[in-house]
Amino acid sequence: MLTLVAVSIAGALIFVHLFSAVSASLGGVDLLLKLELYTRGLTSVVIPPLGVVNARTHSVPVRISIVVREINLDYVRFFLDNAVQNRAELMELFKSDLIKDFRQLALKVILIGMLGGVVSGAVMRYDRRRIAVCALIGLMTSVSLMGAVFTTYNTSAFKNPEYSGNLKAAPWIISLAHNGLSKLNELNHYMSIMSDNISTVFSRMDALNLMDDEDVVKVLHVSDIHNNPAAYNFLERITKNFDVDLIIDTGDITDFGTPFEELITENLSKMPVEYLFIAGNHDSPGIIDSLRKMPGVTVLDGEIAEVKGIEVVGWADPSSKGNEINTAGDREILELNLSIRQWLARTSVSPDIIAVHNPKATNSLAGAVPIILNGHTHRSSIIEEKGTFIINAGSTGAAGIRGLQSESDIPYSAALLYLKKPAGTGNARLIAVDVIKVSNLKKGFQVERMFFIGEEQKFE
């Protein structure tokens, strides 16, 4: 009899471990739910390719896995559009769907456990009566298992989750869900006021109207938005208030390059001027492909673009070729630097601007072009070397959407370049730069205008 019981329990547990998976849907996200034997009681949320969020939610040594398989962006877009007005209703709908999905998982576990008992009895070549007993023991085993899981389940364990993979860098997501979105409308209003005030200051300064010359092209350099929705409002207002002709983005528009983040980048469609994008190490192939399809956006990776007579060439960061979010290694950066040098050596074109995300990739290129634009460091800077102006926009997203939660003041920053087009052949000349910084802690704004008066220089 003990052998029969042991065989039945083992069969039930093996079948539950192997065959418990069920498909589910929650708020536009297709999921796979399954229960597996494990060393401790865990609930694991698996988000390919980002990683796993684990929480020790129960005492029974099994793991409940929730695997994200596909995301319906249209549904998520609808949810975001209605999240503020119908939050309570939507949360109740989510709760109802989640309960239904877990009931489905529990029912399958119970039935699979009973089937495991039947199969184990058949394997042992028991008679029908003993197989029926095995089925009953398998049923009791799976019912007891699910009962113990739900009895000891503690949802508050998700307040202290464990992260693996790229999600190690993203605990801010949980905090944002509680607090960050409530700040967004207020922050957008603040950014609009700051942008208008900056424009007013400079309209009073421009007594000579030097910057409104028809031969002057205004190029707004932005970088490292890192998913911050407030940055797009900032960009749009600056572009309109300063009559910007062109925006150049040197990358890291997202954090992880996931489909969810693609929703935020759709704000680029509101930009009233041409938008040139050069991918950074946080931008995935999927995000880059979506930007290529977006009207008004041009993605550069070894190509040259001409806007209002200004020629710009850009190269994507080597890390943007894959889904892993890593900073490119020294060898990859050196190879990119060499590729740029070779391109400059063999081309007959003399671009006005080279744009690359990582400053290391443009080392020793001073003297080859009038202007080099970089990002990556989150620190704005302007350096002149061998007649070349090397400009870093800092972080136009104030280090990203996590900046909404930050206690430190990482400013929203951008650089507005004023370029004088040549009368004939030759490169455009940089005559001034506005370095714009808006405090993330509502301490106001700082704008510095630098003039560059010098002889026109030839670059070959």
Residue-averaged pLDDT of the chain: 84
Q: What is the pLDDT of residue 84?
A: 47
Report whether 184 contacts 230 (CB < 8 A). Answer: yes
Residue 73's pLDDT band, with cuts at 50, 70 and 90, is low
Please say if the pLDDT value at position 52 is more than 50.
yes
Strand 29-37 to 51-55 pairing:
unpaired
Please say if the pLDDT value at position 270 is more than 50.
yes
Q: What is the pLDDT of residue 207?
A: 43
In angstroms, the CA 203 to CA 149 distance is 66
Tens-place pLDDT, residues 287-344: 999 999 999 999 999 999 999 999 999 999 999 998 777 788 899 999 999 999 999 9
Domains of the chain by residue range: 2-169, 172-451
In angstroms, the CA 49 to CA 52 distance is 9
In angstroms, the CA 190 to CA 193 distance is 5
What is the 3-state secondary structure of the chain?
Answer: CHHHHHHHHHHHHHHHHHHCCEEEEECCEEEEEEEEECCCCEEEEEECCCEEEEECCCCCCEEEEEEEEEECHHHHHHHHHHCCCCHHHHHHHHHHHHHHHHHHHHHHHHHHHHHHHHHHHHHCCCCHHHHHHHHHHHHHHHHHHHHHHHHHCCHHHHHCCEEEEHHHHCCHHHHHHHHHHHHHHHHHHHHHHHHHHHHHHHHHHCCCCHHHCCCEEEEEEECCCCCCHHHHHHHHHHHHHCCCCEEEECCCCCCCCCHHHHHHHHHHHHCCCEEEECCCCCCCHHHHHHHHCCCCEEECCCCEEEECCEEEEEECCHHHHCCCCCCCCHHHHHHHHHHHHHHHHHCCCCCCEEEECCHHHHCCCECCECEEEECCCCCEEEEEECCEEEEEECCCCCCCHHHHCCCCCCCEEEEEEEEECCCCCCCCEEEEEEEEEECCCCCCEEEEEEECCCCCCCCC
**Better-scored residue on pLDDT, 155 or 307:** 307
**Better-scored residue on pLDDT, 64 or 407:** 64
**Better-scored residue on pLDDT, 181 or 117:** 117
Q: What is the pLDDT of residue 58?
A: 93
Please say if the pLDDT value at position 181 is more than 80.
no
Which pairs with CB-CB distance under 8 Å and at least 24 residues apart come from 442-448? Answer: 442/190, 443/409, 444/194, 445/194, 445/197, 445/198, 446/411, 447/198, 447/201, 447/202
Mean pLDDT within 247-275: 89
Q: Which two tokens stand for residue 140?
A: 């009791």
Mean pLDDT within 236-255: 92
Mean pLDDT within 39-50: 85
Please say if the pLDDT value at position 180 is more than 50.
no
172-451: CATH, from 3.60.21.10, 3.40.50.280, 3.30.830.10, 1.10.150.20: 3.60.21.10
Mean pLDDT within 21-49: 88
